[in-house]
A and B are shown apart, each in its own frame.
Chain A
Amino acid sequence: MKEFSVLEFKSDVIIVVGHFGCGKTNVSVNLAEYLSKDNKTYLIDYDNVNPYFRSADSRDYLSGLGVTVISSDFANTNVDIPSVSPLVYTALTAAQNKGKVIFDVGGDMTGAISLGYLHDKLKELHPEVLYVFSAYRPLTDTPEKAYQILKEIEASCGFSVTALVNNSNTGAATDLSDIEETDGYAKKLSEISAIPLLFTSYMTEKAPDIDGEVLKIKNRTKILF
């Protein structure tokens, strides 16, 4: 087991996709925190599917770290319509000048489809496309089901996934063994998809004892009450 470093990212643009509710937003917010230490970082809330829990919830916190959060003007309002902020282009221009840009994309193929709008522009930047998964989500409770959703997302957005992120957790109740038990699942998904596993996230105090890289993350999900 070795700690993953965000310095390992080869691209300045990181696109985070995955099944609905797998933890894309929390992974994205944490990656933005790590990247912001050495880089001008932009986090793009590109979720046009779920209006409830989104990167824009962390705007105040991330602004304090110097991260620019870009989201739909309608995020966290009662206007429940999908829209993309024109500021996304500003961030992409910045990426060409060595800034770091993270796209927190909506869940499943439905959420990924809006990436098509930026496809040609993004392609030039050779983005890293991370597929986040959780073995504890009911519709991805086997590697085969997670692979099926991965293929649907690729078909919908026109990008190939470049790396996998194991974000298996059961919320605040997660213990080390819950994470370690999913390592076999993660390796199987990597095998059937022929896509490398980049890291396994953990919110526990200690790192899981697994063969591969791990990344400590914090729970940045909006607290409702």
Chain B
Amino acid sequence: MAKVLIKGNEAVAEAAIRSGCRYYFGYPITPQTEIAEYMAKKMPTVGGLCLQAESEVAAINMVYGASASGVRVMTSSSSPGISLKSEGVSYIVGCDLPCVILNVQRGGPGLGGIQPSQSDYYQATKALGHGDMQLFVLAPSSVQEMAQLTADAFGIADKYRMPVLLLADGALGQMMEPVDFDALKFTPEPEKPWAVNGHGGKRKKNIITSLFLKPEELEANVLERDKKYKEVDANEVRYENYLCDDADIIIVSFGITARISKAAVNEARKQGVKAGLLRPITLSPFPSEILNKLADNASAFLSVELNMGQMVNDVKLATECKKPVYFYGRTGGSLMSSDDVLDEIKKISGGLK
């Protein structure tokens, strides 16, 4: 299976299995149901388990249990289903357990629609659950990257013992592109001495819990976890810098909109406007340092998103508003065209002159 034509959703499922994930718990929802379909067909052939739970809440709590036992495990859903999982996600964070969660975003709020969106950016990067918590959030932009970042997600989750959220969208999940699975890089699963998988009387028992009886113990636990987040911030930021170094106008865009924005950047360059694209691959940790540096030479930033303006605020924070930060977006399941983005670039560039 060197070269295949595959949907983003299927690519995640195949890459997860190749990463050693043998447990998938989920509940169907468009536009990510292909993952469960694929897992249901493939997991039994590799000695794994694909289980359709009675609800999203049940599925995430099965992930909680499986992860505590020390195995690689994942779940997936789309926006409304991800909201349902938030309680379980917080418990998993509170227990410092690794797992992979995929959100193939659709339009919201509420039941919303089934077409692509990026309107769960705030939820993913700020608060998918209560408490002092962060997730590691990866934003793929092609089907090949859906596969590679899934493989990376399992490695990161194990390394930091934290949930990794893959933030995709209905377009990336549904579209087909050729993927070379032989080119994927995998992180071997480490030993998990903390797992609750039976001590057999041979070691001290392990306890996994998010409940602390004394406030000072909870505080110490949260402070300890915060050190981990700082380490993640320092070491794990990823982004793609496309023609930003001499750019006047820098587009900041992730996932599917980065693909559209890149075409607009190319066209703008042809028309004599020095545009660039900074594509965050990690949304949390956010590539603040590079954006701040770029703000010294660029004239303006344009955040392009499929929502009403969410990441734009992180761009403002990152650049300390040294330069104007504009926003352009569509929502409700509509996609923008590269011409739409080009028009925005021209508007800004016209205003600069």
- Most B CB atoms within 10 A — which of A50, A110, A139, A178? A139
Main secondary structure of the interface of A (DSSP, over half): loop
Taking a contact as CB atoms under 8 Å apart, the answer to whether A171 and B176 are in contact is yes
Taking a contact as CB atoms under 8 Å apart, the answer to whether A139 and B5 are in contact is no
Main secondary structure of the interface of B (DSSP, over half): mixed
One digit per residue, 1 when the CB lies within 8 angstroms of any chain B CB and 0 when it does not, for chain A 154-187 equals 0000000000000001110100001000000000
Q: How large is the interface on B (under 10, 10 to 19, 20 to 34, 35 or more residues)?
A: 35 or more
Shortest CB-to-CB span from A28 to chain B, Å, is 17
Contacts of B42 in A (CB 8 A): 139
Contacts of A78 in B (CB 8 A): 107, 112-115, 333
Known: A51-B114, A80-B30, A225-B338. A137 touches B4 (CB 8 A): yes
Contacts of B37 in A (CB 8 A): 20, 108, 110
- Most A CB atoms within 10 A — which of B1, B5, B107, B176? B5
Cα–Cα, bound, A110→B42 (Å): 16
Cα–Cα, bound, A225→B142 (Å): 13
When the two chains form the complex, which single residue of B41, B112, B176, B256 contacts A21, counting CB atoms closer than 8 Å?
B176
When the two chains form the complex, which single residue of A51, A141, A173 contacts B178, counting CB atoms closer than 8 Å?
A173
Taking a contact as CB atoms under 8 Å apart, the answer to whether B4 and A171 are in contact is no
Cα–Cα, bound, A143→B5 (Å): 16
Contacts of B177 in A (CB 8 A): 171
Taking a contact as CB atoms under 8 Å apart, the answer to whether B174 and A141 are in contact is no
Taking a contact as CB atoms under 8 Å apart, the answer to whether A225 and B335 are in contact is yes
- Residues 61 to 99 of chain B near chain A (Cβ within 8 Å): none
Taking a contact as CB atoms under 8 Å apart, the answer to whether A139 and B333 are in contact is no
- Residues 88 to 135 of chain B near chain A (Cβ within 8 Å): 107, 112-115
Taking a contact as CB atoms under 8 Å apart, the answer to whether B6 and A224 are in contact is no
Cα–Cα, bound, A141→B14 (Å): 13
| A41 touches B (CB below 8 Å) | no
Taking a contact as CB atoms under 8 Å apart, the answer to whether A170 and B14 are in contact is no
When the two chains form the complex, which single residue of B174, B256, B337, B338 contacts A53, counting CB atoms closer than 8 Å?
B174
Closest to B14 in A: A138
- Residues 251 to 272 of chain B near chain A (Cβ within 8 Å): 256, 259-260
| B22 touches A (CB below 8 Å) | no
Taking a contact as CB atoms under 8 Å apart, the answer to whether A51 and B30 are in contact is yes
Cα–Cα, bound, A20→B7 (Å): 10
One digit per residue, 1 when the CB lies within 8 angstroms of any chain B CB and 0 when it does not, for chain A 209-225 equals 00000000000000011
- Residues 161 to 180 of chain B near chain A (Cβ within 8 Å): 170-171, 174-178
Contacts of B305 in A (CB 8 A): none
Taking a contact as CB atoms under 8 Å apart, the answer to whether A170 and B5 are in contact is yes
| B353 touches A (CB below 8 Å) | no
Taking a contact as CB atoms under 8 Å apart, the answer to whether A139 and B38 are in contact is yes
| B199 touches A (CB below 8 Å) | no
Shortest CB-to-CB span from A225 to chain B, Å, is 5
Taking a contact as CB atoms under 8 Å apart, the answer to whether B114 and A137 are in contact is no
| B152 touches A (CB below 8 Å) | no
Known: A21-B176, A78-B113, A171-B176. A137 touches B259 (CB 8 A): no
| B31 touches A (CB below 8 Å) | yes
Taking a contact as CB atoms under 8 Å apart, the answer to whether A141 and B4 are in contact is yes
Shortest CB-to-CB span from A191 to chain B, Å, is 22
| B10 touches A (CB below 8 Å) | yes
| B158 touches A (CB below 8 Å) | no
Closest to B42 in A: A139
Taking a contact as CB atoms under 8 Å apart, the answer to whether A80 and B114 are in contact is yes
Contacts of A52 in B (CB 8 A): 31, 170, 174
Shortest CB-to-CB span from A163 to chain B, Å, is 22
Cα–Cα, bound, A134→B10 (Å): 15
| A4 touches B (CB below 8 Å) | no
Residues of A within 8 A of B (CB): 20-21, 50-53, 78, 80, 108, 110, 134, 136-139, 141, 169-171, 173, 178, 224-225
Known: A20-B34, A137-B4, A139-B41. 13 other contacts (CB 8 A): A21-B5, A21-B10, A50-B174, A78-B107, A78-B115, A136-B4, A138-B4, A138-B6, A169-B5, A173-B178, A224-B171, A225-B337, A225-B338
The 6 A-B residue pairs with the shortest CB-CB distance in the complex, in nearest-first order: A78-B113, A52-B174, A170-B178, A136-B5, A138-B4, A170-B5
Listed by A's residue number, 11 A-B pairs whose Cβ atoms lie within 8 Å are A21-B5, A21-B10, A21-B176, A110-B37, A137-B6, A138-B10, A139-B38, A170-B3, A170-B5, A170-B178, A225-B337
